Structure 1
Amino acid sequence: MGCGAHDEHDQHGATDCSEVLDRVFFFLDNELDQADCTEIQQHLDECGPCLAKYDLERTVKSLVARSCTEVAPDGLRQRVMLSIRQVQVRIERE
């Protein structure tokens, strides 16, 4: 899924596009250590196609977050949690 724009980066040991795009969701969610964040940010600063993909993913994530503000009614939440516990019990017994 690489952009192919930075073959020279691949030869010099920098993160290639496919690696960046594989980790972009972790980067968006702040789930990477500082060194990985720095590496990905540097790649995004230098690679227009990867930056465009990152911007698209960030926009979609933002829209979904704004759209998902509803809370399930208590009765529904309790039924779902009960079902989850029942499945867990069955799995643990097997």
Structure 2
Amino acid sequence: MTHDHRDPSLAECADFLEQIVYFLDNELDEGDCSAVRVHLDQCNPCLEKYDLQRTVKAMVARSCSEAAPDELRERVLLRIRQVQVEIREIP
């Protein structure tokens, strides 16, 4: 694999940084995943930001293993239903 060692533009980096969250969540198609991988191989600043995002995501996942109390879950579900009704009523 040949790497193009040019410096990516700030706009190009901004586009890839936006996609990193989707990349981490496996929400990109294979073509976009390949483009992100290539960019990360070529751009150390973006790779560092990717590593930071991945670390934060892993820490949050480990820290969020508790289930919400039943009363809170019921209040949240009730509010979601209220919002759904309000959205349906908007012409």
Fold in common (TM above 0.5)? yes
User: Once the two structures are aligned, what percentage of the paired residues are identical?
Assistant: 56
1:25 alignment partner, one of 21, 26, 33:
21
The TM-score normalised by the length of structure 2 is 0.79
Deviation per CA, 1:8-46: give whole Å up to 9, x if none. Answer: xx6xxxx92121111110111111111111111011011
Aligned residues: 84
C-alpha RMSD of matched pairs (Å): 2.0
**Superposition misfits of 4+ residues, deviation over 3 angstroms:** none
Structure number with higher relative contact order (C-alpha < 8 Å, ≥ 6 residues apart)? 2
**One-letter amino acid matched to 2:15:** E
Consecutive unaligned residues in structure 1, runs of 5 or more: none
SS in 2 for 1:30: coil
**What is the one-letter code of the residue matched to 2:69?**
P
Q: Following the alignment from structure 2 to structure 1, what is the Cα–Cα distance between the partners of residues 36 and 83?
A: 39
